[in-house]
Chains A and B, each alone.
Chain A
Amino acid sequence: DTAVSQTPKYLVTQMGNDKSIKCEQNLGHDTMYWYKQDSKKFLKIMFSYNNKELIINETVPNRFSPKSPDKAHLNLHINSLELGDSAVYFCASSQGAGEKLFFGSGTQLSVL
């Protein structure tokens, strides 16, 4: 069983569309994250949730809205997609703050 799974793996869409990425972890962790990795491989945190509560919102545009229906799931909805949103988005989870992260395999988003 995959510990942190995210879908879809690839997402190709037009500018202006709305899309969602789903993430689920079966590790029993309390904390989940969304990271964005750009074309130069820089990895930047976007959001962090602890037990369904938003902990970190790292100055991400309002077009990005995370939702955590329960502590095992953290989804990312993106409105009005822009060219600059093209990147690889990683979901991750950890037992708690400062502990090691377990990453999903990533969602490669291409906005045309």
Chain B
Amino acid sequence: SQQGEEDPQALSIQEGENATMNCSYKTSINNLQWYRQNSGRGLVHLILIRSNEREKHSGRLRVTLDTSKKSSSLLITASRAADTASYFCATDDAAGNKLTFGGGTRVLVKP
């Protein structure tokens, strides 16, 4: 079963709007990561947030982590057409040996 599950599965917004997607997971983690995948390409790492952190920023990206609710959110501000992609969260196991990915949120940013 998937450790992380993203919500919504798909999101369509206009350029300039913000996009928010959520990730829920089941077991304790050391860190949570977000990745982007453009169509036909490999995944690209966006941001890593550790279990003792609550919020992290990188450019137009903002990630929050609530370990009490076992959830994380990714916010993309002022979206651009180039942000059109699938976004995945990934969590490590207790030993930190492997990353388990959710099913992804497909984001379409319309120009």
Binding site for B on A (CB under 8 A): 4, 33, 35, 40-45, 48, 55-56, 58, 90, 92, 97-106
Contacts and interface: CB of A to CB of B under 8 A. Distances in A.
Interface of B: 2, 30-31, 33, 35, 37, 40-45, 48, 86, 88, 90, 92, 95-101, 103-104, 106
B103 A42 contact: yes
Contacts of A92: 42-43
B51 to A, nearest CB: 11
A101 B101 CA distance: 12
Contact of A106 (B2, B30, B41, B97): B41
User: Majority SS of interface residues in chain B?
Assistant: strand
Given A41-B86, A98-B31, A103 B101 contact: no
A99 B50 CA distance: 11
Contact of A90 (B33, B42, B97, B100): B42
Q: 4 closest A-B pairs (Cβ-Cβ)?
A: A98-B96, A103-B42, A43-B101, A100-B45
A40 B104 CA distance: 9
A105 B42 contact: yes
Nearest to B48: A100
